[in-house]
Amino acid sequence: MARFFGRVGYFSSIALAVEEVAKKNAVRVIPKQGQLKKALDQLNEEGFYADWDTFARLIKECGKTKALPEGILVHQHILRNTSKPQRFIQNLLVQMYGRCGDLKQARALFDRIDPRNAYSWTVMIGAYAQHGFDKQALQLFHQMRCEGVKPDKITLLAALNACANPSALAEGKMIHDLIVKDGFNLDIVVGNMLVKMYSKCGSIDDSRKIFDTLSKRDMVSWNAMISAYAKLGQRKQALLIFEQMKQEGLKPNKITYISLLSAYSSPTDLAEGKLVHLQIIENLFEEDVVVGTALVNMYGKCGSLEDARRMFEKMPVRNVISWNCMISAYFQNGNGKGAIQLYDLMQQQHITPDRVTVLNMLDVYGQSGNLRDACKIFNQLPQREVSLWNALIGLHTQHGRWREALQLFRKMQHDGVEPDKITFVNVLSACSNLSDLDQAKQIHALVADAGLESNVIVGTAIVNMYGKCRGLDDALNAFNILPHRDIVAWNAMIAAYAHAGHGREALHFFHHMKSAGLEPDRVTFVSLIDACADIAALAEGKHFHMQVIEQGYEGDIVVGNALVNMYGKGGTLEMAQTMFEKLPRRDVISWNGIITAYAQHACCTGAINSFQQMQWEGIKPNHVTFVSILSACNHAGLVDEGYQYFLCVGANYGVQPTLDHFRCIIDLLGRSGQLDEAETLLQKMPFKPDAMVWMTLLGVCRIHGDVERGQHAADRLLELDSLNAAAYVVLSNIYAEAGRWDDVVKVRKLMADKGVRKEPGQSSIEVNQTVHEFVVNDRTHPQTKEIYAKLKSLTKQMKIAGYVPDTKLVLQDVQADDKEYMLGYHSEKLAMAFGIISTPDGAPLCIIKNLRMCSDCHMAAKFVSKIVNREIVVRDTYRFHHFQNGMCTCGDYW
């Protein structure tokens, strides 16, 4: 039992004084902290003791005035008196901490109350609801009922306050049913709360039903109904309620006009908004700071920046909310400079920014890309909550500053701020763009620890991240965890397969999506079209194109760009040109797509002309544009032109040269025989050469039989990637072509010892919407007999026409007859033979090869195109070859 204090009256007088001041001012005021602290410090003096009533009064006043430091002092003094305060004191402490925003301490105290009564539960539920932790409030409400504690009217009202969004409508209706079931009267307080709850949950019909059944309505009732219609954008209904209220003899108050003003949010509402402003003037409310701020906000949303600033200047008193609304008005109307000037003025007038100020200014700086000043204003706030961190991290992600976004996330963790689902979505996006699988898994682990793995928004972001990081198994696992999969989640999974080069699997997954009852949207079609482009499934791609037209997506620039890319990669340059011309507008991706198509099809003139035209139309080229134009020059062997474009990258266009640009020019120089120049450029690069650069040099060494330089390039490449199969194969081929068979054996033994396997050559051809795949000497096809018979006949006709097998390409130490036999059944030739026997005479053939086409197959394709009078298109890993009448568009340069 607590000891009693002899001068209780001194402390009671302090509490009473604070309470009296609050009543007189009609607003919550913070007591003079020194005075309250002085009273509390007296408790430490020997012989002074307080009773529970005094402690209770002090706790209540600290909660009302949100004086958390003083509240903590009271709590400490209580703990000195007893290790376990009485339950009513514990309840008051939970309430005080809740009102002051320290929900962690409030919950810790709540969990120690034993037993808990209805009031204990109510104050904790109310604390969660007050600070927007609706999910936790409702979870606690259900726990209360499960533990057999019957909620009273105040508990039910607190729980209703937590039903504040459409996803909580079912919960709100359940609580409404409990109110009716338990016999609580639908008085004005309960009725008003139900009107507010249903409006927050987006059920305006239920709000109106409750409103109409109220036998008595006060200003709160009318204002709640006006606000409900206004927030849902139903301006006319809000005005009807407003007029009905006046007809029933009620005079609008400040809250009425504030609610009504929120209904005006577009330029078409400006005239009506001004009429409401006139009524506000007539009722002498214009000088009220809250009403004036609402007018500034209304004019800003209606697009009248001049009226907003005029109202702002007229206000006799302006608080931080007024400044925030004016800054927001500038931003919403595209005047970032004005917003920055106003923020500077706000600081000059010593108005302390709050979190909304910072959020507004982060938007302003983000719009202009000024992330440095965004970070500066962010760092000025001592208290940085999760929404502010989310805004700053999101800005860095939106502007492609992905590593900085991750660094900010780590700093946020270091500062002890718990990430939420928005944080993780932003961070997962940063990982996606960095394609860093290790980093991705670390972030995924944090998401799992936070219990957000099954959230559809976060889970979809995880799927998307793994897809871009080429972690398909991880993407599929994350997808399977999702309890509910919407179209966005399915799109992420389809895109993951398409992005990783598994186009066929992407199409299969699409069919699973259809089986699940979901229809594709524009994002789905983009991924499907990209998948068809990668596997050259032109027939399926055309089918999706027809669906795009049926659903009205063909005019969408993103879909249109995908179609340009698909037809370009599918071997039909004419259709790619047609789709490009049909685009309603063209961005840099559109131009890059058509330039790439021209480059792949060896149409260097078309690529260069497009490059010039895009600049005439005011589209600034980016690094991808220059990769495409350099590739076009490379395919055409235009060394001087290509080198000039390479020099222009940084000098004239402000695009920083990348490794991709250097790889292109090294390849161009090397293929033209300028190996010394190519190697010198490699050594002088401002970057450390990666495996692809050394692979490029190794490839051109093989073309020109440069054994020594090829050995050096292979050594450097294998230092970076010791399991690179292509390095071993190309080096082995260099040795074989030089007749160094002992070295060939050594390289192949080294491959075997390291478990490195050569990627087998494979060719595919689509016939009747079915893709048929072949490997060298393939005898697994159902029509093998007919294929080999046709190929034998074609070979005989080719030899009569002058074809001589290029047996030097057989890099094995065998007899000449064996070499000719080994050349005769390459995968490209099997695919050609199958295409000829399976399609009508004269129909073009399109073959996809997963490796570079060999010179013997290239020569054979020229002869076959003339013999069968067909166009034969072969897409290898390097370019397109269009064979017709014994000629190839590459001019035998590839």
Residue with token string 């599929």: 476
Instruction: Tell whether 876 is covered by a domain.
Output: yes
Q: Domain of 786?
A: 762-888
Question: Angle at which helices 487-499 and 456-468 pack, to 10 degrees?
Answer: 10
Both tokens of 661, joined, read: 């640009």
If DSSP codes are grouped into helix, strand and coil, which group holds residue 186? coil
Instruction: Tell whether 813 is covered by a domain.
Output: yes
Both tokens of 784, joined, read: 């093998």
Model pTM score: 0.70
Residue 765 has phi, psi (to 5 degrees) of -145, 140
Last residue of a domain, one of 85, 114, 143: 114
Into how many domains does the chain fold?
2
Tell me which residues of the chain have a pLDDT lower than 50: 1-33, 814
Query: Please, which residues have CB within 8 angstroms of residue 481's CB and are 6 or more apart in sequence?
Result: 453, 454, 459
Instruction: Tell whether 815 is covered by a domain.
Output: yes
Residue 155 contacts residue 141 (beta carbons within 8 Å):
yes
CA atoms of 711 and 738, how far apart (whole Å): 13
Residue with token string 């204003």: 377
CA atoms of 105 and 111, how far apart (whole Å): 10
Both tokens of 598, joined, read: 């021209």
SS (H, E, C) 336-390: HHHHHHHHHHHHHCCCCCCHHHHHHHHHHHHHHCCHHHHHHHHHCCCCCCHHHHH
Ordered strands of the 880-884 beta sheet: 770-775, 762-767, 845-849, 872-875, 880-884, 887-888
- Other Cβ atoms less than 10 A from the Cβ of 881: the count is 26
Instruction: With CA atoms as reference, report the closest residue to 697 among 722, 723, 726, 738.
Output: 726
Instruction: With CA atoms as reference, report the closest residue to 726 among 677, 761, 753, 767.
Output: 761
Question: Angle at which helices 588-600 and 623-636 pack, to 10 degrees?
Answer: 20
Q: Would you give the distance in Å from CA 425 to the centre of its chain?
A: 6
Q: Would you give the distance in Å from CA 355 to the centre of its chain?
A: 24
251: left (phi over 0), alpha (psi -120 to 50) or beta: beta
If DSSP codes are grouped into helix, strand and coil, which group holds residue 531? helix
Strand pairing report for 770-775 and 845-849: unpaired
CA atoms of 502 and 473, how far apart (whole Å): 12
CA atoms of 400 and 422, how far apart (whole Å): 17
pLDDT score for 258: 94
Instruction: Tell whether 41 is covered by a domain.
Output: yes
Instruction: Tell whether 284 is covered by a domain.
Output: no
CA atoms of 50 and 76, how far apart (whole Å): 13
If DSSP codes are grouped into helix, strand and coil, which group holds residue 43? helix
**What separation in angstroms does the CA of 159 have from each of 140, 164, 210, 219?**
9, 10, 18, 23
pLDDT score for 8: 36
pLDDT score for 287: 92
Residue 536 contacts residue 846 (beta carbons within 8 Å):
yes
Return the amino acid letter for 723.
L
Residue 850 contacts residue 765 (beta carbons within 8 Å):
no
CA atoms of 803 and 581, how far apart (whole Å): 41
Both tokens of 455, joined, read: 């959230």
Instruction: Tell whether 618 is covered by a domain.
Output: no
Instruction: Tell whether 206 is covered by a domain.
Output: no
CA atoms of 777 and 829, how far apart (whole Å): 10
Question: Angle at which helices 254-261 and 219-231 pack, to 10 degrees?
Answer: 10
Last residue of a domain, one of 87, 114, 141: 114
Last residue of a domain, one of 75, 93, 114: 114
Instruction: Tell whether 265 is covered by a domain.
Output: no
